[in-house]
Amino acid sequence: MVATESPKKESKLSGKNIAITSLAGGVSGALEICFTYPFEFAKTQVQLEPKKYAGKPFWTCWKDGYREFGGFPRGFTAIYRGMPPLIIFGIPRNASRFTSFEAAKELLQSSTNLGNIPVNIIAGFVGGFTEAVLVTTVQETMKVRLIHDRLSPNPRFRNTFHGVSTIIKEQGVGGVYKGLLPTIIKQGSNQMIRFPVYFYLKRMILGNVTDDFSVNGAVKGNLQAMAVGGFAGAASVLGNTPVDVIKTKMQGFQSHRYSGAMDCIKVTFAEEGFRGFYKGMGARMGRVSADVALTFFFVEKVKLIVKSMLA
């Protein structure tokens, strides 16, 4: 039976819990990127070159990259182009997301009479907003720029750090903060969908959100945790792919074509129609579902391990 919604406080955030949450979020950020980046690469390619990949399955990007990098064995590294920025920023990104979410959730539970779902929606947006401002905008800008640069006839950037320094030198700090507003909207909407869906489904299965899925057994519990996380990720993809498309276009090398987010929306619709706002959704669905499944899974497992070590 699904537990009824109530304003009952579910947890108390202490200094120790903040540290544990930050650590768990950071570790999960690094691990999930390593597993899911090939899908992110394909999604970005489809959005940056819609005409080239129109009507083709997203894995065509992997084949092209493999050939462009000279085939076996170096060709296998092609689908990891642009990954270093995500690894570098993945740890603070997830740490800031989960820490700010937990802090906002505890504050709302202790100072309002809101039910669990509204609390998770608001706290989720706070988590997404925080990570977008502190980490994700710079991370996404560099990811898109590096992928685009390495596909150009004459690549300019030797590595992530060279790319960052070159862009800041030429365009100022604003150069690595392209698409800040769309990124805030994207990450905010992502997390305000994912967290409520995840915790609602978890409550349906376990009756509360404080237990780990392992109470249902190792194998069954792990499968349930991954399935719930994957469903939460899929829900966010359906809800905000248009925002992701606009964000990607505004962070690419063609960003000079657009005077702002609204202009980018108008141009995209004029050139590609309604479907243009859903370019790369197939690749994004695979990556994000796996991403969110792994993220929540790793966060909960790291929390359990750390808490058992400190007990």
Domains of the chain (ranges; CATH) run 15-310 (1.50.40.10)
Would you state the pLDDT for residue 12? Answer: 53
The whole-angstrom separation of Cα 154 and Cα 29 is 32
Residue 105 amino acid letter: K
Cα–chain center distance at 171: 26
Structure tokens at 273: 């129609």
Q: What is the pLDDT of residues 13-34, one digit of tens each?
A: 567 778 888 889 998 888 888 8
pLDDT digits (tens, 9 = 90+) for 115-147: 999 999 999 999 999 999 999 888 888 877 877
Mean pLDDT of the 42-67 span: 79
With 70 as the cut, is the pLDDT of residue 159 above it? yes
Q: Which of the two residues, 206 and 74, has the higher pLDDT score? A: 206
pLDDT (0 to 100) of residue 197 = 96
- Looking at residue 65, its pLDDT comes to 75
Do 61 and 81 touch, CB atoms closer than 8 A? Answer: no
Of all residues in the chain, what percent carry a pLDDT higher than 90? Answer: 30
Q: How remote is the C-alpha of 187 from its chain's centroid?
A: 7
pLDDT at 118: 96
pLDDT of 63-119, one tens digit each? 887 777 666 666 677 778 777 777 888 889 999 999 999 999 999 999 999 999 999
CA-nearest of 70, 241, 80, 244 to 147 is 80
254 pLDDT higher than 80:
no
Measure the CA–CA gap between 198 and 258, rounded to whole angstroms. Answer: 36
Contact criterion met (CB below 8 Å) for 207 and 247: no
Quickly list H helices, 49-79.
60-68
Per-residue pLDDT averaged across 152-159, rounded? Answer: 81
Per-residue pLDDT band at 10 (split at 50, 70, 90): very low
* Total number of residues shown for the chain: 311
Residue 1 has pLDDT above 70, yes or no: no
Exposure on the CB side of residue 13, measured as CA atoms within 13 A: 17
For residue 306, the tally of other CB atoms under 10 A from its CB is 17
Which residues, 6+ apart, have CB-to-CB distance to 75 below 8 Å? 65, 66, 67, 68, 69
**Verdict on whether the full-model pTM lies above 0.85:** no
pLDDT (0 to 100) of residue 8: 45
